[in-house]
């Protein structure tokens, strides 16, 4: 099934969709998939539409994985936009980000975040909001897709406000959250797996098929 462009922007949204599942891909020319105001608004609206239409399994990833060759999950919020926020617009920006994270955690469906390349700051928040989280090992020949999971916000003296500091504790426990947030550690797939940030490690060439199997599992025949 071909994918369609669901939203156009500096970071766009590609969409593949079945009867009860959807695969959402982040796409940008520079490959960093920054979380801008317009993107968060588009994601919020798209998640609402998918929920009401009966979708029960979703995956969020870099759009390249729909074609078998993804890059970065998200390098986080656009710092140029963040620098222009004031008290009023910062509150709206944070609340929109929190709504997007809450959609991923909605108990009415199963959500998967496929994490590859850079997943930093707000991108780390978004990645860890998945109910299921899979990390991609780098392509052996080029190193492409090597996971860099980190939350360097403290280095800039800022918080994303997306609820990631709460979610980090839920997923990693206090010790793991301190390592990632206060210690500003950077984790590859092995460290992320050991800490509980991801639950599966996928080889580069297995990603597309594994995600399709997750979204549209084969029917189980009932005996009798």
CATH of the domain at 31: 3.90.226.10
Does residue 140 fall inside a structural domain? yes
Q: Is residue 66 part of a domain?
A: yes
Q: Which of these, 129, 123, 174, 131, lies nearest to 152 by C-alpha position?
A: 123
Domain with 132, as residue range(s), is: 4-215
121 lies in a domain? Answer: yes
* pLDDT of amino acid 218: 74
Let me know: does 81 contact 134? Beta carbons within 8 Å: no
From the number of C-beta atoms within 10 Å of its C-beta (0-12, 13-18, 19+), residue 213 rates as exposed
Q: What is the dihedral of CA 193, 167, 110, 208, to 10 degrees?
A: -40
Tell whether 147 is covered by a domain: yes
Would 180 be classed as within a structural domain?
A: yes
The answer on pLDDT for 20 being more than 90 is yes
Mean pLDDT computed over 107-125: 94
* Sign of the alpha-carbon torsion through 161, 90, 118, 107: positive
Sorting pLDDT into bands at 50, 70 and 90, what band is 61? very high
CA distance 207 to 151: 25
Position 85 confidence tier, pLDDT thresholds 50, 70, 90: confident
pLDDT value of residue 197: 93
In a domain, 224, yes or no: no
Residue at 93 is within a domain: yes
Q: What angle do CA 193, 112, 12 make, to 5 degrees?
A: 115
Nearest to 51 by CA among 99, 114, 7: 99
Q: How many domains does the chain have?
A: 1
pLDDT above 80 for 187: yes
Residue 221 within any structural domain of the chain:
no
């Amino acid at each position: 099934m071909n994918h369609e462009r669901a939203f156009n922007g500096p970071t766009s949204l590609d969409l593949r969709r079945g009867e009860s599942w959807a695969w959402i891909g982040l796409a940008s020319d520079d490959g960093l998939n920054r979380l801008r105001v317009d993107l968060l608004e588009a994601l919020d609206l798209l998640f609402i539409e998918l929920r009401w239409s009966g979708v029960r399994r979703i995956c969020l990833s870099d759009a390249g994985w729909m074609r078998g060759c993804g890059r970065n999950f998200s390098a986080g919020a656009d710092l140029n936009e963040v620098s222009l926020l004031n008290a009023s617009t910062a509150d709206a920006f944070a609340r929109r980000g929190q709504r997007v994270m809450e959609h991923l955690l909605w108990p009415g469906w199963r959500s998967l975040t496929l994490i590859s390349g850079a997943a930093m700051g707000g991108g780390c928040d978004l990645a860890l909001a998945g109910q299921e989280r899979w990390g991609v090992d780098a392509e052996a020949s080029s190193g492409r897709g090597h996971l860099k999971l980190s939350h360097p916000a403290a280095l800039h003296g800022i918080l994303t406000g997306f609820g990631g500091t709460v979610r980090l504790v839920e997923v990693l426990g206090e010790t793991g959250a301190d390592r990632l947030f206060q210690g500003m550690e950077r984790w590859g797939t092995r460290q992320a797996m050991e800490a509980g940030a991801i639950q599966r490690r996928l080889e580069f060439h297995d990603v597309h098929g594994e995600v399709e199997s997750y979204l549209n599992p084969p029917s189980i025949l009932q005996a009798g």
